[in-house]
Structure 1
């Protein structure tokens, strides 16, 4: 690709596990991205809960990565480099939004994203809260200011759900989307199915393995899946639905007996998030469903995820897999960035 490449200054909001993985990948592979994609990323600022580190000529990623994560790591970096922790201010070309997901208000991500748009920055969002609260509003603002918003990392991390719908199925009419979009609940149901565990014991196993959070409510009650199908449906059907438009039922009531009954007929139970056309109206729902042996989603095991697109012109398309860990989510943000700016 020679010497011709695009260079962009990047700011990150939030410095948790996913943001740190993003920084690691930039540090390890920025030269490969330049050579293969004609794009060079320079991280100039990171905003945490206690302020911002900012260096016009680029943050020293090797030094930053020698510390932990969160505001503590940013403070240690500032001390080492003898720079100040500054009041948050967005400047640069691209915002990578990795703040903790807040489904109640979308903050602080929502304010960061609006501020970025006023500065004509493109946005790549990994956190879901602001998108769930205000995606149509944010898209409208971005269009007015000539910015772009990418968020494939928020719709199932490494599994390329949005990309398939937007690019691979461009021009086709999508009639229905069915997805297993939450790795934690899928691990629990797989453990119940394959190891004959109760819901309680399967959840405990997931927590022991670090797959489920100490408070697993968002995952097991279906809200994480609901957020993802909402973002997919709004993005692909060009709608302005909210979480209130989704019928949501989690997996807490799935019993050992339910699972055994499904398995008698060679079926299984999965937590399915769907956007289905019923009598000409698209209905959004998340609920445990009996999956028959001929459904490709039957093969989605453990922490894996999967999605089915039903289309009029291209038939049914299925994608299964995708890492559920933070590096997978960070890689999705990298992918969005490269697809925005590749040479």
Structure 2
């Protein structure tokens, strides 16, 4: 079952349609999508939706309505009765939005959760994890913590048994693109933002990206998931990139450094401090080489030293692939 049918959900449908044989051959599993919930209602077919046909109609509720007409289905209120919910609704970091209600209803119905949207998790992670534990369900959300960049996976699996003392990352591709343009082409913030918008990288309203809120949501989920904190957005000091000037960047570059929007979570004794702000990154820091829409993360550990991962496609297909990865790992 999928809630929300925007571009990411459509890309997930495309991946599921294209990779059916690979999933069976490699992982010995197959997935059947029986329901998709949009703003106008839910389409449901017990035998499974015709994914190639659905893909012909685009994304959004209009696509679901066209599919319903072609299949002679009636749109109905959401009913949670499958074994897994893939949550792809628009992110609402203030209230959790419809996604929060969807996830709660799914957990009540003993469904595992794969969440791509961040809002519900940011607003109610402790409550949702408690519900999941009581229902013996699992919540996977790597798609909400920098999508294609495997941030949460590294912390949970590759660093299992290690003490992580600090997490530091470039977690937002849009803001990194803007700062890269300012650094490499000597653009002003306003000019670089305009290029990002004209290229389709930045939204018409880019506030979540340039004000650091998207980065804050991601580092919050990583801190709560990997460092054992129970923080909210109100606990994070957030500073965006709007005040970064060409002069700031050129001054940093004199010594071979650069400026990046860094999200960090530090463990000191039992306290976790989380912040997002533009920082001067020294030339020996691997994050200095993260350019354009790429992202990167550093894990500082007592046992394994510093671990770095960079890259990760910053587009809907990458987020959809992260959701598919979570779906596979739930059944491994």
TM range (shorter): over 0.9
Correspondent of 1:140 among 130, 147, 151: 130
Cα deviation digits, residues 82-114 of structure 1 (max 9, x gap): 111111111211000000001111010000000
Partner Cα distance (1:203, 1:170) in 2: 39
* Residue of structure 2 in register with 1:43 after alignment: 33
Cα deviation digits, residues 102-148 of structure 1 (max 9, x gap): 11110100000000001100000000000000011101100100110
* Residue of structure 2 in register with 1:31 after alignment: 21
Partner Cα distance (2:160, 2:314) in 1: 26
Where has structure 1 moved over 3 Å in runs of 4 or more?
A: 277-281
Correspondent of 1:307 among 278, 282, 297: 297
1:125-164 correspondence runs (5 A)? 125-164=115-154
* Residue of structure 2 in register with 1:97 after alignment: 87
| Comparing 258-267 and 280-289, the one that deviates more | 280-289
Partner Cα distance (1:175, 1:83) in 2: 53
Partner Cα distance (1:284, 1:316) in 2: 19
* Residue of structure 1 in register with 2:61 after alignment: 71
Partner Cα distance (2:40, 2:143) in 1: 25
Correspondent of 2:318 among 328, 332, 336: 328
Partner Cα distance (1:325, 1:90) in 2: 29
TM-score, normalised to structure 1's length? 0.96
Cα deviation digits, residues 173-218 of structure 1 (max 9, x gap): 0000000000000000000000000000000000010000000000
Partner Cα distance (2:149, 2:108) in 1: 31
Partner Cα distance (1:316, 1:37) in 2: 32
Q: Deviation at 1:38?
A: 1.1
Secondary structure of 2:32's match?
strand
* Number of positions where the alignment pairs a residue of Structure 1 with one of Structure 2: 332
CA-based RMSD of the aligned residues comes to 0.8
- Do structure 1's residue 178 and structure 2's residue 168 form an aligned pair? yes
- Do structure 1's residue 81 and structure 2's residue 68 form an aligned pair? no
* Residue of structure 1 in register with 2:197 after alignment: 207
Correspondent of 2:254 among 264, 272, 280: 264
Correspondent of 2:114 among 116, 124, 130: 124
Partner Cα distance (2:261, 2:306) in 1: 20
Correspondent of 2:218 among 224, 228, 233: 228
* Residue of structure 2 in register with 1:5 after alignment: none
Do 2:227 and 2:272's aligned partners in 1 also have CA atoms closer than 8 Å?
no
TM-score, normalised to structure 2's length? 0.99
Partner Cα distance (1:261, 1:279) in 2: 35
Secondary structure of 1:108's match?
helix
Correspondent of 2:279 among 270, 276, 289: 289
Secondary structure of 2:97's match?
coil
* Residue of structure 1 in register with 2:232 after alignment: 242
* Residue of structure 1 in register with 2:43 after alignment: 53
Q: Deviation at 1:34?
A: 1.2
Partner Cα distance (1:39, 1:276) in 2: 39
* Residue of structure 2 in register with 1:166 after alignment: 156
Secondary structure of 2:283's match?
coil
Secondary structure of 1:42's match?
coil
| Comparing 279-288 and 313-322, the one that deviates more | 279-288
- Do structure 1's residue 198 and structure 2's residue 188 form an aligned pair? yes
Partner Cα distance (1:303, 1:69) in 2: 24
Unaligned ranges ≥5, structure 1: 1-10
